[in-house]
Amino acid sequence: MSEVLQSTAPSTLIGQRIPKLDAPDKAAGRTRYVHDIQLPGQLYGAILRSERVHARILRIDTSKARALPGVSAVITAADIPDQRPIGVVKDNLPLKTDRVRSLRDEIAAVAAESEELARHALTLIEVEYEDLSAVTDAADSLLPGAMLIHPPIAGAKSGDPVGLAGRDDNIAMRFDYVHGDVGQGEAESDVIVEDTFYLHYVTHCCMGVSGVIAEFDAKGNLLLYSNTQVPFLHKREFAEYLHIDPSRVRIIQPPIGGGFGSKLDIYPFEVICVYLARATGRPVRMVYTREEEFMASPTRQPVRLTLRSGCKKDGTLTFRSVHTLHDNGAYTSWGATTPVVMMQAFASLYRLPHCEYHTVAVYSNNPYAGSFRGYGNLQATFAIESHMEKMAAAIGMDPLAFRLKNAHVKGEETGQGNIFRSCGFQDCLKIAAERSDFLHKWREYTGKQKEPGRFKRGVGLAAMLHVGGGAKIYQSDGCGTIIKIDDFGHVTLITGASEIGQGSETVLAQLVCEELGLPISAVSVVNNDTEITPWDVGVHASRTTFVAGNSAIGAARKAKDKILEAAAPRFACAPEDLDMKGGGIVRKATGEMLTNLPRFIRSLHFAQQSDLVITTNYYEPPSVHFDKGYKGDISAAYSWAAQVVEVEVDLDTGAVRLVKVTGAHDVGRVLNRLGLEGQIEGGVVMGQGYALTEDLQVEGGKIRNPNFRDYKLVTAPEVPQMDISFVESMDGEGPQGAKGVGEAPAISMAAAIANAIENATGVRITSLPFTPERVYRALHGALPELPTTPKVAA
DSSP bridge pairs for 456? 649
What residues make contact with another protein under the rule CB under 8 A? 17, 19-20, 22-33, 35-36, 38, 114-117, 204-209, 255-260, 289-290, 500-503, 674-675, 677-678, 681-686, 707-709, 713, 715-717, 719, 722
Nearer to another protein, 293 or 385 (CB): 293
Nearer to another protein, 70 or 161 (CB): 70
Is 743 part of the annotated catalytic residue set? yes
Q: Which H or E run contains 119?
A: helix 115-123
- Please state the closest distance from residue 206 (CB atom) to another protein, in A: 6
Do strands 284-287 and 249-252 pair parallel, antiparallel, or not at all (unpaired)?
unpaired
CA distances 315 to 110, 359, 718, Å, are: 63, 28, 37
Nearer to another protein, 241 or 726 (CB): 726
Buried b (16+ CB within 10 A) or exposed e, 280-305: bebbbbbbbeeebbbbbbbbbbbbbb
Q: Which H or E run contains 385?
A: helix 377-395
Catalytic residue among 514, 694, 743, 758: 743
DSSP bridge pairs for 130? 56
- Please state the closest distance from residue 471 (CB atom) to another protein, in A: 22
C-alpha torsion sign, points 418, 419, 420, 422: negative
Nearer to another protein, 488 or 708 (CB): 708
CA 770 – CA 657 distance, rounded (Å): 10
- SS3 percent helix, strand, coil of the chain, rounded to 5, is 30, 25, 45
Nearer to another protein, 151 or 519 (CB): 519
Residues 210 and 267: beta-carbon distance below 8 Å:
yes
Nearer to another protein, 290 or 764 (CB): 290
From the list 95, 394, 88, the residue with the least C-alpha distance to 266 is 88
CA angle 576, 581, 586 (to 5 degrees): 50
Q: State the distance between the two ends of the chain, measured CA to CA, in whole angstroms.
A: 46
CA distances 180 to 57, 174, 186, 416, Å, are: 51, 20, 11, 10
- Please state the closest distance from residue 184 (CB atom) to another protein, in A: 44
Q: Which H or E run contains 699?
A: strand 698-699
- Please state the closest distance from residue 672 (CB atom) to another protein, in A: 9
- Please state the closest distance from residue 205 (CB atom) to another protein, in A: 6
- Please state the closest distance from residue 415 (CB atom) to another protein, in A: 35
CA 108 – CA 774 distance, rounded (Å): 40
Which residues contact residue 154 at a Cβ distance below 8 angstroms, ignoring those fewer than 6 apart?
Answer: none
Nearer to another protein, 434 or 681 (CB): 681
Give strand ranges (E) for 446-559. 455-467, 479-485, 491-495, 523-526
CA 579 – CA 572 distance, rounded (Å): 14
Three-class DSSP labels, 644-658: EEEEEEECCCCCEEE
Could you tell me how many residues make up the chain? Answer: 794
CA 92 – CA 84 distance, rounded (Å): 8
Nearer to another protein, 114 or 123 (CB): 114
Nearer to another protein, 596 or 721 (CB): 721
DSSP bridge pairs for 396? none
**φ and ψ of 742, to 5 deg:** -55, -40
- Please state the closest distance from residue 680 (CB atom) to another protein, in A: 8
Do strands 455-467 and 99-100 pair parallel, antiparallel, or not at all (unpaired)?
unpaired
Nearer to another protein, 3 or 22 (CB): 22
- Please state the closest distance from residue 20 (CB atom) to another protein, in A: 6
As to burial, measured by CB atoms within 10 angstroms (0-12 exposed, 13-18 middle, 19+ buried), residue 783 is middle
CA 167 – CA 99 distance, rounded (Å): 15
- Please state the closest distance from residue 492 (CB atom) to another protein, in A: 22
Q: Which H or E run contains 179?
A: strand 171-179
Nearer to another protein, 25 or 773 (CB): 25
**φ and ψ of 692, to 5 deg:** -115, -40
Residue 4, Cβ neighbours under 10 Å: how many? 8
H helix runs in 425-548, sequence order: 425-436, 438-447, 504-516
Long-range pairs, 158-161, Cβ under 8 A, ≥24: 161/85, 161/89, 161/90, 161/91
Do strands 354-363 and 317-329 pair parallel, antiparallel, or not at all (unpaired)?
parallel
DSSP 736-760: GG----SSHHHHTHHHHHHHHHHHH
Residues 87 and 266: beta-carbon distance below 8 Å:
yes
- Please state the closest distance from residue 713 (CB atom) to another protein, in A: 5
- Please state the closest distance from residue 689 (CB atom) to another protein, in A: 9
H helix runs in 539-651, sequence order: 549-570, 597-605
- Please state the closest distance from residue 462 (CB atom) to another protein, in A: 18
CA 408 – CA 404 distance, rounded (Å): 8
Residue 608, Cβ neighbours under 10 Å: how many? 4
- Please state the closest distance from residue 123 (CB atom) to another protein, in A: 13
Nearer to another protein, 28 or 794 (CB): 28
Nearer to another protein, 719 or 786 (CB): 719
CA 368 – CA 515 distance, rounded (Å): 45
Catalytic residues, by residue number, are 743
